[in-house]
Amino acid sequence: MKSHRKELWFETTTRRAYQNITGEVERELAASGIREGLCLVNAMHITASVYINDDEQGLLRDYDDWLERLAPHAPTSAYRHNQTGEDNGDAHLKRQVMGREVVVAVTAGALDLGPWEQIFYGEFDGKRRKRVLVKIIGE
């Protein structure tokens, strides 16, 4: 069994952002030399997500509006977590809706994705350096 590990770093210019990282993950798969296996991609921070969906600008704005309705950023006093001095209580909730991680099949040396599947980094408390882990195992 082979394994490959890589941290991807991001620093978004906005508090919330949705960034297509499929190309970066494909590069790591190529570097790994793995042909058959599983590829885990997970946020290493607890106010961010890795998820798979469509790379369509309207949809990304729909997600953002919807997450703000489900878990609004303001008033920040609505979250007990923010009594610790943080203002990111909402981000911990938004991340649970979108998920921490994806596991993608590796087949014949490629990410085994459906026609519209794209891997996204979802940031809900950005403007600072944060990491995503790519871990691939297989042969």
Which stretches of the chain bind a second copy, using CB under 8 A?
1, 3, 5, 36-38, 40, 42-46, 51-54, 56-59, 61-63, 66, 70-71, 79-84, 89, 92-93, 95-105, 107, 112-117, 131, 133, 135, 137-139
Q: Which of 13/57 has CB closer to a second copy?
A: 57
Measured between alpha carbons, how far is residue 17 from residues 47, 61, 74, 75, 118 in Å? 12, 10, 17, 20, 15
Residues 123, 127: Cα–Cα separation, whole Å: 9
Nearest to a second copy of 14, 96 (CB atom) = 96
List the one residue out of 71, 134, 79 whose CA is nearest residue 98.
71
In the complex, minimum distance from the CB of residue 40 to a second copy, in angstroms, rounded to a whole number = 5
The residue (of 25 and 71) whose beta carbon lies closer to a second copy is: 71
